[in-house]
Amino acid sequence: MATLDVTACSRWYGNVVAVNDVTMRIGPGITGLLGPNGAGKSTLINLLAGFLPPSAGAVTLDGVPVWKNQEAYRAIGLVPEREATFDYLTGREFVVASAELHGLPDPGAAAARAITTVAMADAQERKVGEYSKGMKQRIKMASALVHDPAVLLLDEPFNGMDPRQRLHLIALLRSMGDAGRTVLFSSHILEEVEQLANHVEVLVAGRHAASGDYREIRRLMTDRPHQYTIVSGDNRALAAALVADRSTAAVSLDGDTLRVEATEFLHFAELLPRVARDAGVRLYEVTPVDESLESVFSYLVQS
Amino acid sequence: MNRTIVRLAARAILGGKRVWLLAALSLVLVAIGVGTAALGSGSSAASLEALQAIAFSTFLPLFGLIVGTGVIGPEIDDGSIVHLLAKPVSRHTIVQSKLAVAVAAILGFAVLPTMVAAVIMGADAATVLAFGVGALAAGAVYCVLFLLLSVVTRHAVIIGLVYALVWESLVGSVIPGARNVSVQQWALSVTASIAPDGVVTANVGVALAWFLIVAVVAVGTWYAGSRLRVLVLASDD
């Protein structure tokens, strides 16, 4: 059992704040680190992995700081986002080297076990430089698992994986989480996090925006106000009909388009066509305005 | 020293295209020996002077730059060093292991060819040994300096090149006072102390030269390990 603690931690580069006063505790089980690109997820993982000193605050593993503490790597397995490995080695040599550097008593056996775990036995004699992105991801995973670490940190592990590899990795991480390991992975895709993590930490623009059960976060995300622009046969009549319903927060007429802000996504999706038909108004265009991930996240920050 | 790191570093530096560049450079060194001997200038002292100028002022700094930065610089640049650093291995051990590979490469590709060239030129045993010891001392110092430079800055190759070309080749030979801080002069002093009188002239006292060589290697190695310990890996966001 291992617990990572991030306490009032900030990290800035010159004038740019990458991680801003974040406090979180990552315990056994699977935690998903969710946030748009550039939110500071990689910076936070580098802080947790001891490759970056916090500018302020502390990052500890079971109470011991990880920065400048190479002994921490006995308990940490890191799967970095960057693809670069030692391309001149075969997959097996790469994992064996990792086992040797950890000082394991039988590096060959440990490497074979880790390679089997990530299902790379068939490709282990090929050069790492010739691997596809998904295969590199898996061999890095084997290298990180070789010493059976209590903590596994993965930076965007699903990038470049095909659906089959993705399912395999999900199953693998699940089994590690069930075994009581502390698994933290980052992603900018909500669905990935939702499938895997029971606990989610959301990072937006360096700030810790939300924390908790994924269902909770999912609800926060889908129940936010949704904006639509609508072009119809009679905008004014439609506006009047819509505003009568509780899920409509605001309507405004803007030339030929009607803008609507709805509070309950599912209810509104069902309401709009029904109201239009009852009012005898023909819908020509219905466009969601702010469905980008960034807008979803920035909504979370405000709430 | 860690055998795994030594093995990895050796494969990194000898496995790629770099090994051909190194082999070509060492062939050039030997070819200079053959060429001078074939031209038959007669005077062995003059040929040795040419070898000394070429090997010590150009080839050794260049080899040092290629292997000293080569054992660690590319890994820092592409981020693969993370796979070495995410291990419970002392950072000093990592530096020492990589340095051992760099010095061994210098020995094989620069020191031995220099000695072979000296033999071809008809130098006596003491002179050949003197060239070997001097070249190895210079090579070791360059390896340490350029490895350290790679850990400290991303622009190690540029800075190293400017140093090798401007400082070692020009300043040291033009400004006499600068010779005390020229690796080349330290190495020549070592060479002069072993070779028969008159073969090589040195501007730095041999005791001071040895002291500086040992000090730079020891302090540089230690400092490179300390800097590697606090190496911050660049992240994309």
Residue B61 carries which DSSP code?
H
CA separation (Å) from A226 to A3, A202, A214, A250?
A: 38, 20, 20, 10
When CB atoms are compared, the residue of A43, A72, A144 closest to B237 is: A43
Residue A17 bridge partners (DSSP)? A12
In sequence order, what are the residues at sequence separation of 6 or more whose Cβ sits closer than 8 angstroms to the Cβ of residue A199?
A29, A30, A31, A32, A211, A212, A213, A214
Q: Say if residue A141 is in the same domain as residue A288.
A: no
When CB atoms are compared, the residue of B11, B16, B230 closest to A68 is: B230
The sheet with strand A4-13 has its strands ordered as A16-26, A4-13, A56-61, A64-65
Q: Say if residue A37 is in the same domain as residue A161.
A: yes
Q: Is the dihedral of CA B31, B35, B38, B40 positive or negative?
A: negative
Query: The domain containing residue B22 runs over which residues?
Result: 3-229
CB-CB under 8 Å, B90 with A85: no
Q: Say if residue A33 is in the same domain as residue A44.
A: yes
Nearest to A25 by CA among A43, A42, A52, A1: A1
pLDDT reported for residue B234: 65
Nearest residue in chain B measured CA to CA from A48: B86
Residue ending a domain, among A193, A221, A249, is A221
B231 contacts in chain A (CB < 8 Å):
51
Q: Say if residue A191 is in the same domain as residue A249.
A: no
Residue ending a domain, among A221, A236, A269, is A221
CB-CB under 8 Å, A71 with B88: yes
When CB atoms are compared, the residue of B12, B80, B233 closest to A52 is: B233
**Tokens standing for residue B146:** 């350029």
Domain total in chain B: 1
pLDDT reported for residue A301: 63
Per-residue pLDDT of chain A (303 residues; tens, 9 = 90+): 799 999 999 999 888 999 999 999 999 999 999 888 888 999 999 999 999 999 999 999 999 999 999 999 999 999 998 888 899 999 999 999 999 999 999 999 999 999 999 999 999 999 999 999 889 999 999 999 999 999 999 999 988 788 888 888 999 999 999 999 999 999 988 778 878 888 889 898 899 988 888 777 767 766 677 788 899 988 999 998 888 888 888 899 888 889 998 887 778 888 889 989 998 999 998 887 765 556 666 666 665
Radius of gyration for the alpha carbons in chain A, expressed in angstroms and rounded:
24
Residue B234 lies inside a defined structural domain of this protein: no
Nearest residue in chain B measured CA to CA from A103: B88
Residue B235 lies inside a defined structural domain of this protein: no
Which of residues B118 and A192 earns the better pLDDT score? B118
Residue position matching structure tokens 């295209």: B17
Is B45 within 8 Å of B200 (Cβ atoms)? Answer: no
Q: Say if residue A126 is in the same domain as residue A264.
A: no
Longest dimension (CA), chain A: 78
Query: The domain containing residue A270 runs over which residues?
Result: 223-302
CB-CB under 8 Å, B80 with A73: no
CB-CB under 8 Å, A37 with B86: no
C-alpha to C-alpha distance for B194 and A27, rounded to whole angstroms = 65
Residue ending a domain, among A170, A190, A221, is A221
Domain total in chain A: 2
When CB atoms are compared, the residue of B85, B86, B237 closest to A42 is: B237
Residues in chain B whose beta carbon is closer than 8 A to a beta carbon of chain A?
Answer: 2-5, 7-8, 11-12, 15-16, 78-80, 82-91, 229-233, 235-237
Q: Which phi and psi (to 5°) does residue A69 adopt?
A: -130, 85
Secondary structure percentages of chain B, helix, strand, coil, to 5 = 80, 0, 20
Q: Say if residue A188 is in the same domain as residue A259.
A: no
Residue B49 lies inside a defined structural domain of this protein: yes
Residue B143 lies inside a defined structural domain of this protein: yes
Q: Say if residue A109 is in the same domain as residue A254.
A: no
Q: Say if residue A208 is in the same domain as residue A123.
A: yes
Q: Say if residue A254 is in the same domain as residue A139.
A: no
Question: Does residue B41 surpass a pLDDT of 70?
Answer: no
SS3 A58: strand
